[in-house]
């Protein structure tokens, strides 16, 4: 990239497009010239495509054949820091630049001229007699709250023709309006008084405010138990960022959490922030993308992909629940939003706040080493106390067959119901039963396309593969031996646990929270609101409930199987179990009554279970860190995973073996290659997957060596190769 920022009419410019060409192509600047970073339309063969002026052209071609840029699009040019960020992110993740640019231009109609457009939203009348098609349209509008859609979007989401929507407009049930054409978002007022902060909160907020006001890069780990008031604290950092006239971004791991967060922002700043995730309409996304670039939005709340919005002047990035595995993008460009946030901030003089009760080991180590600042909030806000935690030794409990709630836990649940409080039973398994076995031949029903078992979902009356989503009706006869009536569920999922609860606590109102049981984010949100208001006595949930929800009446958390995450050979298993158990237990006792967490386990003496119970977190992390260090594993060494996949199992292993043999480029940097071995999930959607793991010392130039190494061989047809820097499982 050059530091030139304007190109005159006819000068050579390099334009990067999202076409998989590998590099930027030369064009001539259009009449009137263009800025570096400008969004432009250029001819490519017979087509016209969107691109970004990346810098000066390289020349070296027949000058007569270089074509001019067709036109400059109406969008704020992409700033130099953003372009540098995309380049560095591409280098780090070994993602080609066109794919990187695609992440940054996920705005529908980006290149459209801003002509007049109509949008549709909920109208004033509520007709009581409607066709099914019309009812579906109104349901979509209901699901998305007050959102506005284009005609095509609304009809598409409802699965009806556009005539149906027009009919509703005539009835007054749908309102047709001129689009809020890329207008700025309402200004957030940072000086509106916030909540009075407790002493430790005020201290933390002061430190973060000063860091933001400094206008330089820095990362802070904001560590505090759930309910300690971290959100209130980092909202003060957001306030300071807004005062400085800069933009702020808050990343959340789960769409279901945004609704509550938006309300809190509105309470604090008097207006709502911009919202960016898969549940936001295209119209609104287009507006947010443009306003990020023009500075017409002060605060954006979003999912990991919001990190690639072209902010004009980003001064703060908050990564809430920074340890959450959903920050890792596992498809296409493989990146970890937490790490990319740090990279982006370091290039635009912004501050990063990593908030968590249970940070990931990498973050903890960076804080220990002084690379990140660290602030601890050690007590819960107000009267709320941390829950007491106890293990229940399941070897001493008597369980009837097909029962999973032991007598001790059951007594605890009963006591809560009597007291008018709530109990949460946590089981991280969706569906009815994880395994379906034939009692005649012993066959376990598996997915036809994946190396995974089919999971029975009784509400759906189907078997579902949690890897690829394949579903089949629940069979009557065994697919292997053909005997009828002998298929039986083995082990519990949340649906089966709900059955046990219904039998044993018939008087209780039961709510099951599992992501697959809700048709929309709104339905889930409504349910969560209902539970928070006391609409259930027993809540049964998967890890969906572990994340951030606030249930004031909840005083008992029962973990059905605390050993579940400890099986398997994954080096991160301990860390993950520790995080999840602490997180889920943190749901109890957030109101005025104290909480209790009971963990059912068959191995109460396991070091991880003991660390969870004792709450000696620092000791736990120190031990984990020492183990990783001894093994030369991240963050003390570097890892990359190479995942090869193909429908042809022989071909993937052959290719993997050939790569492993040609390891000279890796050996030159002292790196080792392991494998090929079946990937953690060995078959997905009919493709066999094998993985090679490359392990290098911390400072080694891993990316360059990897590029040279895989560049030696051309994958055969139908074989895909994906490079995963810093894989999540190892």
Residue ranges for the known binding site for Zn(2+) are 438, 441, 447, 450, 465, 468, 478, 481
Residue 196 is encoded by which pair of tokens? 């009075």
Question: Per CB under 5 A, which region of 150-158, 437-445, 460-468, 484-492 contacts Zn ion?
Answer: 460-468
Q: Does 468 bind Zn ion (CB under 5 A)?
A: yes
Q: Does 463 bind Zn ion (CB under 5 A)?
A: no
227 binds, among ligand ADP, Zn ion, none (CB under 5 to 8 A by kind): ligand ADP
**Cα–Cα distance measured from residue 361 to residue 342, given in angstroms and rounded to the nearest whole number:** 16
Q: Does 203 bind ligand ADP (CB under 6 A)?
A: no
CA dihedral of 224, 225, 230, 232, whole degrees rounded to 10? -140
Supply angle C-alpha 570, 573, 574, rounded to 5.
Answer: 135
Q: What are phi and psi of 380, to 5 degrees?
A: -75, 150
Q: Mask of contacts with ligand ADP, 373-412, x by CB under 6 A?
A: --------x-------------------------------
In the list 322, 470, 500, 617, the residue contacting Zn ion (rule: CB under 5 A) is 470
Q: Does 195 bind ligand ADP (CB under 6 A)?
A: yes
Q: Mask of contacts with ligand ADP, 521-550, x by CB under 6 A?
A: -----------------------------x
3 state DSSP class of 512? strand
In the list 252, 447, 511, 539, the residue contacting Zn ion (rule: CB under 5 A) is 447
Q: Nearer Cβ to Zn ion, position 555 or 645?
A: 645
Compute CA distances 136 → 164, 175, 523, 540, whole Å. 10, 16, 15, 30
Smallest separation, CB 683 to Zn ion (Å): 8
Annotated binding site: 438, 441, 447, 450, 465, 468, 478, 481
Q: Nearer Cβ to ligand ADP, position 381 or 730?
A: 381
Question: Per CB under 5 A, which region of 51-59, 94-102, 468-476, 540-548 contacts Zn ion?
Answer: 468-476
**Cα–Cα distance measured from residue 500 to residue 251, given in angstroms and rounded to the nearest whole number:** 38
In the list 232, 321, 456, 500, the residue contacting ligand ADP (rule: CB under 6 A) is 232
Helix 258-269 / helix 230-243 crossing angle, nearest 10 deg:
50
- Note the Cα 682 to chain centre separation in Å: 23
Q: Nearer Cβ to ligand ADP, position 501 or 584?
A: 584
**Cα–Cα distance measured from residue 164 to residue 130, given in angstroms and rounded to the nearest whole number:** 11
Smallest separation, CB 447 to Zn ion (Å): 3
Q: Nearer Cβ to ligand ADP, position 24 or 384?
A: 384
Give 87's contacts (C-beta < 8 A, 6+ positions apart).
Answer: 1, 97, 100
For residues 633 and 571, is the Cβ–Cβ distance under 8 A?
Answer: yes
**Cα–Cα distance measured from residue 436 to residue 444, given in angstroms and rounded to the nearest whole number:** 6
Q: Nearer Cβ to ligand ADP, position 224 or 492?
A: 224
Q: Which of 471, 477, 379 is nearest to 430 (CA)?
A: 471
Question: Per CB under 5 A, which region of 465-473, 505-513, 668-676, 694-702 contacts Zn ion?
Answer: 465-473
Enclosing H/E stretch for 454? strand 454-457
Compute CA distances 429 → 49, 189, 339, 534, 633, whole Å. 45, 43, 29, 25, 29
Other beta carbons less than 10 A from residue 260's beta carbon: 17
- 230, burial (CB in 10 Å: exposed 0-12, middle 13-18, buried 19+): buried
Residue 510 is encoded by which pair of tokens? 């039961």
Q: Which of 190, 202, 186, 214 is nearest to 345 (CA)?
A: 214
Q: Does 261 bind ligand ADP (CB under 6 A)?
A: no
In the list 18, 150, 219, 231, the residue contacting ligand ADP (rule: CB under 6 A) is 231
Smallest separation, CB 7 to ligand ADP (Å): 47
Total residues binding ligand ADP (CB under 6 A): 15
447 binds, among ligand ADP, Zn ion, none (CB under 5 to 8 A by kind): Zn ion
Residue 427 is encoded by which pair of tokens? 């089981």
**Cα–Cα distance measured from residue 249 to residue 212, given in angstroms and rounded to the nearest whole number:** 13
Q: Nearer Cβ to Zn ion, position 449 or 462?
A: 449
231 binds, among ligand ADP, Zn ion, none (CB under 5 to 8 A by kind): ligand ADP
Q: Nearer Cβ to ligand ADP, position 230 or 430?
A: 230
500 binds, among Zn ion, ligand ADP, none (CB under 5 to 8 A by kind): none
300 binds, among ligand ADP, Zn ion, none (CB under 5 to 8 A by kind): none
531 binds, among ligand ADP, Zn ion, none (CB under 5 to 8 A by kind): none
465 binds, among ligand ADP, Zn ion, none (CB under 5 to 8 A by kind): Zn ion
Give 378's contacts (C-beta < 8 A, 6+ positions apart).
Answer: 200, 224, 225, 228
Q: Nearer Cβ to ligand ADP, position 102 or 223?
A: 223
For residue 444, give the DSSP letter: B
For ligand ADP, the binding residues in 671-700 under the rule CB under 6 A are: none
In the list 83, 230, 286, 304, the residue contacting ligand ADP (rule: CB under 6 A) is 230
Give 609's contacts (C-beta < 8 A, 6+ positions apart).
Answer: 391, 562, 563, 566, 599, 601, 603
Smallest separation, CB 534 to ligand ADP (Å): 16
470 binds, among Zn ion, ligand ADP, none (CB under 5 to 8 A by kind): Zn ion
**Cα–Cα distance measured from residue 490 to residue 181, given in angstroms and rounded to the nearest whole number:** 55
In the list 449, 504, 509, 522, the residue contacting Zn ion (rule: CB under 5 A) is 449
Total residues binding Zn ion (CB under 5 A): 7
- Where along the sequence are the contacts to ligand ADP (CB under 6 A)? 195-198, 201, 224, 226-232, 381, 550
- Where along the sequence are the contacts to Zn ion (CB under 5 A)? 447, 449-450, 465, 467-468, 470
């Amino acid at each position: 990239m050059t530091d030139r920022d304007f190109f005159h009419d006819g000068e050579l410019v390099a334009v990067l497009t999202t076409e998989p060409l590998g590099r930027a192509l030369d064009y001539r600047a259009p009449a009137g010239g263009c800025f570096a970073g400008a969004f432009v339309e250029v001819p490519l063969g017979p087509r016209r495509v969107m691109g970004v002026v990346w810098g000066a052209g390289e020349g070296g071609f027949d000058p007569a054949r270089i074509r001019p840029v067709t036109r400059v699009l109406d969008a704020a040019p992409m700033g130099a820091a953003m372009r540098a960020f995309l380049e560095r992110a591409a280098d780090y993740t070994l993602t080609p630049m066109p794919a990187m640019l695609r992440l940054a231009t996920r705005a529908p109609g980006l290149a459209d001229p801003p002509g007049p457009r109509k949008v549709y939203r909920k109208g004033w009348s509520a007709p009581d007699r409607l066709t099914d098609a019309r009812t579906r349209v109104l349901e979509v509008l209901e699901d998305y709250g007050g959102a506005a859609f284009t005609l095509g979007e609304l009809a598409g989401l409802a699965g009806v023709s556009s005539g149906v929507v027009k009919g509703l407009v005539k009835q007054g049930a749908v309102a047709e309006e001129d689009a809020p054409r890329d207008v700025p978002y309402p200004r957030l007022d940072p000086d509106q008084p916030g909540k009075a902060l407790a002493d430790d909160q005020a201290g933390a907020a002061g430190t973060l405010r000063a860091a933001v006001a400094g206008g330089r890069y820095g990362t802070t780990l904001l560590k505090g138990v759930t309910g300690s008031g971290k959100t209130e604290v980092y909202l003060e950092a957001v306030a300071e960022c807004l005062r400085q006239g800069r933009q702020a971004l808050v990343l959340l791991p789960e769409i279901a959490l945004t609704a509550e967060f938006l309300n809190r922002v509105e309470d604090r700043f008097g207006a709502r922030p911009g919202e960016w995730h898969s549940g936001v309409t295209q119209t609104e996304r287009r507006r947010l993308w443009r306003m990020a670039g023009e500075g017409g939005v002060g605060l954006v709340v979003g999912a990991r992909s919001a990190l690639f919005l072209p902010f004009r002047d980003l001064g703060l990035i908050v990564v809430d629940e920074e340890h959450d595995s959903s920050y890792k993008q596992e498809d296409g460009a493989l990146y970890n939003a937490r790490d990319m946030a740090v990279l982006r901030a370091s290039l635009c003089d912004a501050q990063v706040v990593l908030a968590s009760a249970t940070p990931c080991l990498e973050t903890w180590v960076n804080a220990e080493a002084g690379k990140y600042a660290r602030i601890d909030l050690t007590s819960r806000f107000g009267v709320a106390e941390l829950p007491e935690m106890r293990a229940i030794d399941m070897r001493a409990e008597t369980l009837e067959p097909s029962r999973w709630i032991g007598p001790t836990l059951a007594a605890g649940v009963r006591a809560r119901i009597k007291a008018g409080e709530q109990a949460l039973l946590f089981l991280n398994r969706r569906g009815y039963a994880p395994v379906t076995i034939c009692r005649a031949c012993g066959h376990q029903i598996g997915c036809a396309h994946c190396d995974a078992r089919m999971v029975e979902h009784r509400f759906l009356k189907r078997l579902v593969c949690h890897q690829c989503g394949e579903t089949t009706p629940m069979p009557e006869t065994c697919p292997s031996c053909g005997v009828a009536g002998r298929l039986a569920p083995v082990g519990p999922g949340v649906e089966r646990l709900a059955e046990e609860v219904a039998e044993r606590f018939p008087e209780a109102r039961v709510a099951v929270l599992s992501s697959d049981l809700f048709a929309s984010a709104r339905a889930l949100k409504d349910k969560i609101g209902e539970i928070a208001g006391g609409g259930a006595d027993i809540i049964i949930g998967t890890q969906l409930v572990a994340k951030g929800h606030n249930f004031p009446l909840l005083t008992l958390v029962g973990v059905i199987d605390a050993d579940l995450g400890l099986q398997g050979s994954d080096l991160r298993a301990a860390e993950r179990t520790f995080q999840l158990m602490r997180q889920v237990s943190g749901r109890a006792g957030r109101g005025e009554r104290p909480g209790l967490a009971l963990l059912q386990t068959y191995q109460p003496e396991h070091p991880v279970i003991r660390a969870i119970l004792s709450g000696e977190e620092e000791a736990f992390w120190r031990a984990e860190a020492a183990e990783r260090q001894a093994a030369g594993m991240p963050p003390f060494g570097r890892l990359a995973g190479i995942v090869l996949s193909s429908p042809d199992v022989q071909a993937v292993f052959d290719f993997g073996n050939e790569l492993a043999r040609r390891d000279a480029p890796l050996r030159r940097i002292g790196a080792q290659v392991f494998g090929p071995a079946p990937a953690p999930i060995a078959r997905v959607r009919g493709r066999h997957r094998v993985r090679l793991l490359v392990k290098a010392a911390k400072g080694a130039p891993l990316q360059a060596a990897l590029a040279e190494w895989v560049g030696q061989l051309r994958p055969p047809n139908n074989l895909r190769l994906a490079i995963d820097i810093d894989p999540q499982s190892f």
